[in-house]
Amino acid sequence: MQNDKWKTEYPLPENLTELSSQAFELAAAQATLENLASVFFPTSLANGRNPLFDTQKSQEQSELDLPGVEAIYRTLVEQIPAVVFMAVLDKGIGEAYVSPQIEELLGFSQAEWLNDPVRWYHQIHPDDKDRWSGDAARLFLSGDSLRSVYRVMARDGHAVSFHCEAKMVRRDDGRPWFIHGVAFDISDLKRAEEAQQKSEEMLRGLFEFAPDTIVVVNQQGKIARANTQVETMFGYTRTELIGETIETLLPERFRGRHIDDRSTYIAEPHTRPMGAGLKLYGRRKNGSEFPVDIMLSPMKWDDGGMVIAVIRDITRRSQAEESLSDYADRLKFLSRRLMEVQETERRNIARELHDEIGQALTGLKLTLEMGARLPADGARASLEQAQVLVNELMARARRLSLDLRPAMLDDLGLVPTLLWHIEHYTAQTRVRVHFRHSGLETRRFSAEVETAAYRIVQEALTNVARHARVVEATVRLWTHEALLSIQVEDCGSGFDSEAALASSDTSGLAGMRERAVLLGGQLTVESAPGDGTRLTAELSIADSPVANSGEILREEQPG
Amino acid sequence: MTVENTITVVLADDHQVVRQGLKALLEAEPDLKVVGEAGDGLQAIRWVELLSPRILVLDLMMPGLNGLDVVRQLKKGVPHTQVVILSMYANEAYVLEALSNGASAYVLKDSSSADLVHAVREAAAGRRYLSPPLSDRAIEVYQEKARAATLDRYETLTARERAVLHLAAEGHTNAEVATRLGISARTAETHRSNLMHKLDLHTQAELIRYALRRGIVQMED
Ligand SMILES: Nc1ncnc2c1ncn2[C@@H]1O[C@H](COP(=O)(O)OP(=O)(O)OP(=O)(O)O)[C@@H](O)[C@H]1O
Ligand SMILES: [Mg+2]
């Protein structure tokens, strides 16, 4: 490098000996430039000559005894990308040199610097002045070379950082002769350093305050660094973890395998999520486990390759996913059941139409045909028989339609329909039902709410008849604020309601719950084996529109 | 038989076969004359307003505006026309609804044809008629059954809520209730607010008054 070349090609005068002058010691004790200057530049000789490059070749030059250096060094000195300076110590304040590059850097011309030999001192950044004074004192006293960075103010007021290297040269008799040195503009370097520092701070911030645990692991699988998150997430302090193997953070059953996987990864490191498709778990200090996501990336570190592992606690996400998939399962089950139920219902209707109504119609047809062939008085008997058949047919058709869906629910609402249903239920099952209600005598709700309420009572009563082994049950309906509550109670055999609701073998309870939930409500089942059953469904009727056009018409009527 | 004594009838039923049957049946009577036939509720209203018949024989179950809707509409505009409801359902709720909306007669579809003719004449004479086995008495019984406010809200409380009500009425704090029942104070608090909500009670004073009235707790002497 040119700089280094300059150093070697600029041989220092020989016979540098220790400086022992009283004056220097005194000056050093006070260590200010002014003091030093008064020592070094005692007289203002201001002859304007430069001891190195004096072109006048005066007599004094021979006195300086600098044999022919001028020609050799001038070009060099004026071309290197640095400022070369020199001050003669025994010639007074005027004997100084500074290379012309100074102008470009600080805005003062070479002449300005030469004319004012202490300008440079004034231009040193105020905060750096004391340090400079101390350094200079050491230079003068011990003869050690000076090597330091100072900020110097340019003409326009901005600071330029210089890295200075200076040496003192003595005469043969030991008297300080001159100092010379070189100053490099390192402002760019400085700025880069600052920027680097900032980015390092930012990185450290990112590292420390990331919401995830970040662990840096070395080639041997030992934890080299970890951020604070590791403490909250895993319950270890950082000091406990540094130096431990990364497997410390894994459940024991995964550790063996992980050591193998780790070596594979080190052999061919690349950025990737860990254990793609696998469920990963972290292990806290207290032994508890939690689901995690891990991202790995290789990194160059001081002493070889490292691996950064970013560990995220996904407990919440897993729970959400689980409940979502639970819900999806339930939905799948219910829709399958729904299709089955629909199919069964269709089969029943088909059978009913074929067996019951079809047979009756055939009978009717035959009776009428026979009647047509008979003489008038004989035909009468046939017609009467046909009439009986027709009445039967009508009753069947009516029952079939009601079983599918009572039109009454739309026409008249919940209370009449439930009364009708209960009457039939009791007739069929011999289970007496006490029906109590309040707040809905003439009130209508949306079709969804009325249907749900009706189906819930129907299903619950069917369960009572099928499972409870009782002769009595109570149905209660009431409204309170924005809720319609439906309660079906029996004092029968009871059952393990938690287990029944969780099981997916049946659809009755699950269907009731789904209906309630769909309408912004819930289903509560209080039951225990031998302890009867009380089932309560709550449906939201907050914005329940009226059920049918009839109601709207009725509302239009005045009074 | 003079024209003045003739009872004019509009028939409304969505099945043509049924309409034909009914028409044949009614026109077999010398004093009855079918002046219009409608296939749905709206048409029925239009015919009635246009023809002002003495009687509208109206099927309860029709698509669009059903029989009940039609009666409600007509009673506003055409009070002169009496409505005879024809229905599959021997259900008091329907009868009650039809009558209270202004129908004069309720005839079951599977009752005899003589029954319908009778109903039309009765209605034309300004009297009420119900096909057997329907009766005013049966309707009263139904009304009694359907009456609201037969629900005792106390019954809707869970066993736990009843226990909490009892203790709270005796003046125990939530914490005391909790210790007695071996539950957390928070749960006790929830039970208490739920039961007050169910019983529509808002203050401790109301709660005590309720408990006294119901004999859940006795006045201390
Ligand atoms: N009122 C009751 N008394 C006693 N046990 C009941 C009662 N209601 C439900 N159970 C029990 O809960 C189980 C689940 O009821 P659920 O209605 O879901 O199914 P199911 O009635 O057996 O079949 P389906 O799917 O046809 O309704 C029943 O099998 C029965 O053991
Ligand atoms: Mg069931």
CATH number of the CATH domain containing B18: 3.40.50.2300
Tell me which DSSP letter residue A166 carries.
E
How far, rounded to the nearest angstrom, does the alpha carbon of residue B132 sit from its chain's CA centroid? 19
Q: What is the CATH number of the domain that holds A471?
A: 3.30.565.10
Q: What tokens does B144 get?
A: 């009694």
B96 and B27 both lie in a single domain: yes
Q: Please say whether the beta carbons of B92 and B142 come within 8 A.
A: yes
B126 and B201 both lie in a single domain: no
In a domain, B160, yes or no: yes
Max CA separation in chain B (angstroms): 90
Residues B17 and B52 in one domain: yes
Res A85: pLDDT: 83
DSSP assignment of A193-262:
HHHHHHHHHHHHHHHHH-SSEEEEEETTSBEEEE-THHHHHHS--HHHHTTSBGGGGS-HHHHHHHHHHH
In this prediction, residue A51 has a pLDDT band, given cuts at 50, 70 and 90, of very low
**Residue of B17, B8, B25 lying closest to B123 (CA atoms):** B8
Sign of the dihedral through C-alpha B196, B199, B202, B204 = negative
Query: Are A73 and A182 in a shared domain?
Result: yes
Give the total number of structural domains in chain B.
Answer: 2
Contact B94 A487 (CB under 8 A): no
What integer best gives the mean pLDDT of chain A? Answer: 78
Higher pLDDT, A332 or A159: A159
Range of the domain at B191: 153-214
A437 pLDDT exceeds 70?
A: yes
Determine whether the interchain pair B148/A554 forms a contact, defined as Cβ–Cβ distance below 8 Å. no
Q: Is there a single domain that holds both residue B121 and residue B195?
A: no
Instruction: Give the A window 275-294 contacts with B, CB below 8 Å.
Output: none
> Measured in angstroms, how far is the CA atom of residue A508 from the centroid of ligand 1?
7
A and B: number of Cβ contacts within 8 A: 80
Measured in Å, residue A509 CA sits from the centre of ligand 1 at: 7
Tell whether B14 and B29 lie within a shared domain: yes
pLDDT of residue B107: 93
Residue A272 is inside which H or E element, if any? strand A272-273
pLDDT band at A22 (very low <50, low <70, confident <90, very high): very low
Flag whether A97 is in a domain. Answer: yes
Domain assignment present for residue B221? The answer is no
The confidence score (pLDDT) of residue A117 equals 66
Residue B12: name the closest of B4, B23, B3, B1 by CA.
B23
Same-domain status, A548 and A428: yes
In the listed set A373, A404, A435, which residue is the last one of a domain according to the structure?
Answer: A404
Range from A72-76, A185-189, A215-219, A509-513 carrying the lowest mean pLDDT? A72-76
Q: State the CATH number of the domain containing residue A278.
A: 3.30.450.20
A22 and A44 fall within a common domain: yes
Percent of chain A with pLDDT over 70: 82
Residue B93 neighbours by CB distance under 10 Å: 22
Residue A412 sits in the same domain as residue A545: yes
Q: Which domain holds residue A399?
A: 336-404
Q: Does A527 touch chain B (CB under 8 A)?
A: no
A202: in domain: no
pLDDT of residue A73: 66
Q: How many CA atoms lie within 13 A of B111 on its CB side?
A: 20
- Tell whether A199 is covered by a domain: no
How confident is the model at residue B121, as a pLDDT?
92
pLDDT at A91: 59
Q: Is A552 on the interface with B (CB under 8 A)?
A: no
Half-sphere exposure of residue A24, counting CA atoms within 13 Å on the CB side? 19
Specify whether B140 is located in the same domain as B157. no
- The string of pLDDT tens digits covering residues A129-158 is 888 888 888 887 777 888 899 999 999 988
Say how many Å lie between the CA of residue A235 and the centre of ligand 1. 47
Q: In which band, very low, low, confident or very high, does the pLDDT at A550 lie, cut at 50, 70 and 90?
A: very low
pLDDT of A92 above 60: no
Q: Please determine, for residue A56, whether its predicted confidence score (pLDDT) is greater than 80.
A: no
Q: Which residue has the higher pLDDT, A548 or A80?
A: A80
**B220 lies in a domain?**
no
> A449 and A554 share a domain?
yes
Closest chain B C-alpha to A430 CA, distance in angstroms? 19
**Is the pLDDT assigned to residue A223 strictly greater than 50?**
yes
Q: Does pLDDT of A128 surpass 80?
A: yes
Same domain, B36 and B137: yes
Tell me the torsion sign for CA atoms A458, A463, A469, A474: negative
B208 and B114 co-located in one domain: no
pLDDT of residue A87 exceeding 60, the answer is yes
| Number of separate domains in chain A | 5
Residue whose C-alpha is closest to residue A291's, from A254, A328, A262:
A254
pLDDT at A17 over 80: no
Q: What is the rounded CA–CA span in Å between residue A519 and residue A452?
A: 8
Interface residues of B toward A, Cβ cutoff 8 Å, are 61, 65-66, 68-69, 72-73, 76, 88-89, 91, 93-94, 97, 109-110, 142, 145-153, 155-156, 158-159, 197-198, 200
What per-residue confidence (pLDDT) applies to A236?
93
Query: Within 6 Å (CB) of ligand 1, which residues are found?
Result: A 463-464, 466-468, 490, 492-495, 500, 506-509, 533
| Confidence at A302, pLDDT banded by 50, 70, 90 | low
Q: Which of B146, B179, B195 is the last residue of a domain?
A: B146
Claim to verify: residue A411 and residue A557 sit in the same structural domain: yes
Q: B23 and B91 share a domain?
A: yes
Does pLDDT of A81 surpass 90?
Answer: no
Please check whether residue A80 lies inside any domain of the structure: yes
The pLDDT of residue A7 is above 50: no
Q: Are residues A423 and A536 located together in one domain of the fold?
A: yes
Answer yes or no: is pLDDT of A548 > 80.
Answer: no
Same domain membership, residue A446 and residue A353: no
Report cis status (omega within 30 of 0) of the bond before B133.
yes
Q: Are residues A352 and A451 in the same domain?
A: no
Nearest CA in chain B to A413: B93
- Give, as one character, the DSSP assignment of residue A278: S
Q: Does A531 touch chain B (CB under 8 A)?
A: no
A423 and A365 inside one domain: no
Which pLDDT belongs to residue A33? 42
Backbone φ and ψ of A492, nearest 5°: -90, -150
B48 and B93 together in one domain: yes
Within a domain: residue B195? Answer: yes
Work out the widest C-alpha separation in chain A, in whole angstroms. 172
Task: Out of B116, B146, B176, pick the residue that ends a domain.
Answer: B146
**Residue of higher predicted confidence among A393 and A30:** A393
CA dist B93 and A419 (Å) reads 9
> Can you list the positions of beta strands (E) in A7-114?
83-88, 96-98
State how beta strands A533-540 and B105-108 pair: unpaired
Range of A204-213, A268-277, A429-438, B146-155 with top mean pLDDT: A429-438
> Which residues of chain B register pLDDT less than 50?
1-2, 221
Asked if residue B163 and residue B78 are part of one domain, the reply reads: no
* A359-373 vs A376-404: helix crossing angle, rounded to 10: 170
Q: How far apart (Å, rounded) are the C-alpha atoms in residues A35 and A29? A: 10
Domain membership flag for residue B219: no
Q: In terms of pLDDT, which residue wins out, A130 or A489?
A: A489
For atom 12 of ligand 1, the residue with the nearest CA is A500
Residue A549 has what pLDDT?
36
Q: Are residues B33 and B71 in the same domain?
A: yes
Confidence label for A543 from pLDDT (cuts 50, 70 and 90)? low
Q: Which atom of ligand 1 is nearest to the CA of A463?
A: 8
Asked whether residue A198 is domain-assigned, the answer is: no
Residue A556, pLDDT score: 34
Give CA–CA dist B113/A507, Å, rounded.
Answer: 46
C-alpha A507 to ligand 2 mean position (Å): 7
Dig out the tokens for A240 from the structure. Answer: 């406990």
pLDDT digits (tens, 9 = 90+) for A403-431: 778 888 888 889 999 999 999 899 989 99
Task: Tell me what pLDDT residue A383 has.
Answer: 85
Helix/strand/coil for A344: helix
Same domain, A376 and A511: no
CB neighbour class for A260 (10 Å; exposed up to 12, middle 13-18, buried from 19): exposed
| Strand pairing class (A176-185; A159-170) | antiparallel
**B108: in domain:** yes
Is the same domain home to A394 and A412?
no
> Look-up: residue for tokens 């073998």?
A505
Q: By the 8 A CB rule, do A308 and A297 touch?
A: yes
- As a whole number of Å, the CA-based R_g of chain A is 51
Average pLDDT rounded to a whole number, residues A296-308: 77
Q: What pLDDT shows up at residue A414? A: 92
Is the residue at A243 inside a domain?
Answer: yes
Boundary-marking domain end, from B98, B130, B146: B146
Ligand of minimum distance to the alpha carbon of A473: 1
Report if residue A33 sits inside a domain. yes
Q: Are B169 and B207 in contact (CB under 8 A)?
A: yes
At residue B148, the pLDDT reads: 61
Decide if A497 is inside a domain: yes
Is A556 an interface residue toward B (CB < 8 Å)? no
